[in-house]
Amino acid sequence: MTYPFLARATTALLLVATAACSSSDDEPTPAPATPGISWTVDNANLTSSSMQIQTAPDSYQVGAYYNLGGVNSNYISLTIPKTVGTYTFSPTATAGALYSVLTNNVATAVYYAGANPSGNGTVIGAGTIVVTEATTSQVAGTFTFTGIDRDTGNAKSLSNGKFLIRVQ
């Protein structure tokens, strides 16, 4: 005994399943597969995949070193909110950054951007962090900032910043 309606139903289900699994040009581009932080400073493009991550209730504190050779390096630290959005540094913003130049493993300059570390409610420097993806497993986005050395008043600008951070 044959069941022609069963053959037609199976064919229809296969067509629906194939259409549901096909890709579309409207799907978002996935985040890069390699975690890290990259930025441009002093006309140099730097990338670091060696990161330290601390989790706070509403943000991630991420630090990364870029080795300039031997005991000289640069260090970047970002305070990244845990939700998708654009965050301009302000006294009340969760977002912030700092950039350090280390010579012989000693910080010779530290450039702050965001809420003043002394806690007096002012903002040092300026910047923005854009979180484009925030899931339980990763956070991704872009940043740009100009940090100010509190000791000298000198400024350092970082641009073209990108990050992909895996979180636990």
Environment class of residue 97 by beta-carbon count within 10 Å: exposed (0-12), middle (13-18) or buried (19+)? buried
Q: Specify the pTM.
A: 0.75
Q: What is the mean pLDDT of the chain?
A: 78
In degrees, rounded to 5, the angle at the alpha carbon of residue 142 between the alpha carbons of residues 161 and 59 is 115
Q: If you average pLDDT over residues 32-59, what whole number do you get?
A: 87
CB 48 within 8 A of CB 76: yes
Q: Which of 52-56, 72-76, 161-165 is the most confident on average?
A: 161-165
Query: Would you list the domain boundaries of the chain?
Result: 47-166
Residues 96-152 pLDDT 10s: 999 998 888 788 888 999 876 555 556 788 999 999 999 989 999 999 999 998 889
